[in-house]
């Protein structure tokens, strides 16, 4: 389990450290916004690939608890909410300066960081329904990552962006229906691909 723990920790640090305002400001100043985005994306994909390989290598490890069957159905039923939060962050991000309080829409009415809240919910649902040691390591790390990002968003909302932080380019608002439709498509896709990619059928009655 150590390789999976190391990969999961690296995934958390690889997202939290570069996105910390002082670090991000210096990197954007040195690389430009495009260079920072490209480097951050490459790093994220590389760490994700490492986690996937380590997850597969950790198959057959011990189970810490055996969740009752109903927890799996709770996870299947609630995952569209987590996916809607994540999809909202992808397609409905505010323009530079953020949404004014009176005009925040969709998932942004709930939180300034819906993607992070979606990751926390995603991880929590899987921790509820999967009791293996490798699941506890991976989804515990994802929950930690989401909580850290939520805390950063809350702190930024209270204190504002540090001086000198470049503003993101403005974005045209997307249709309000796009995030829920994308979430539904992702949910159906995950249900179909889960047995092939992850090796576990979320619709099965008993854990495999």
**Residue 104, helix vs strand vs coil:** coil
Q: Is residue 122 within 8 Å of residue 109, measured between CB atoms? A: no
Q: What is the pLDDT of residues 5-57, one digit of tens each?
A: 999 999 999 988 888 878 888 888 888 888 888 998 999 999 999 998 998 88
pLDDT tens across 117-138, in order? 999 999 999 999 988 999 999 9
> C-alpha distances in angstroms, 144 versus 107, 203, 206?
21, 27, 28
The tally of CA atoms less than 13 A away on the side-chain side of residue 72 is 16
**What pLDDT is attached to residue 206?**
44
The pLDDT of residue 158: 66
Domain ranges of the chain: 63-197
Whose tokens are 């995934």? That residue is 11
CA–CA distance, 205 with 198 (Å, rounded to integer): 16
Q: How confident is the model at residue 106 (pLDDT cuts 50, 70, 90)?
A: low
Percent with pLDDT over 70 in the chain: 81
pLDDT higher than 60, residue 169? no
DSSP annotation of 198 reads T
The torsion angles phi and psi of 132, rounded to 5 degrees, stand at -75, 155
Q: What pLDDT, on a 0 to 100 scale, did the predictor assign at position 171? A: 58
Q: If pLDDT is split at 50, 70 and 90, which confidence band does 208 have?
A: very low
More confident residue, 24 or 199: 24
């Amino acid at each position: 389990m150590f390789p999976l723990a190391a990969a999961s920790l690296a995934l958390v640090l690889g997202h939290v450290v570069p996105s910390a305002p002082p670090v991000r400001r210096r990197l954007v100043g040195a690389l430009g916004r495009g260079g920072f985005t490209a480097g951050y994306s490459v790093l994220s994909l590389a760490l994700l690939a490492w986690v996937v390989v380590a997850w597969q290598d950790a198959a057959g490890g011990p189970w810490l608890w055996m969740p009752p069957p109903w927890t799996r159905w709770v996870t299947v039923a609630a995952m569209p909410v987590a996916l809607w939060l994540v999809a909202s962050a992808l397609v409905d991000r505010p323009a530079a300066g953020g949404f004014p309080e009176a005009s925040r829409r969709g998932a942004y009415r709930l939180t300034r960081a819906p993607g992070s809240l979606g990751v926390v919910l995603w991880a929590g649902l899987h921790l509820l329904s999967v009791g293996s040691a490798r699941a506890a390591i991976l989804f515990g790390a994802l929950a930690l990552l989401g909580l850290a990002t939520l805390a950063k968003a809350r702190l930024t909302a209270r204190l504002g962006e540090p001086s000198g932080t470049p503003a993101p380019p403005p974005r045209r608002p997307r249709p309000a229906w796009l995030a829920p439709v994308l979430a539904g498509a992702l949910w159906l896709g995950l249900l179909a691909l889960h047995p092939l990619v992850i090796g576990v059928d979320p619709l099965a009655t008993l854990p495999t």
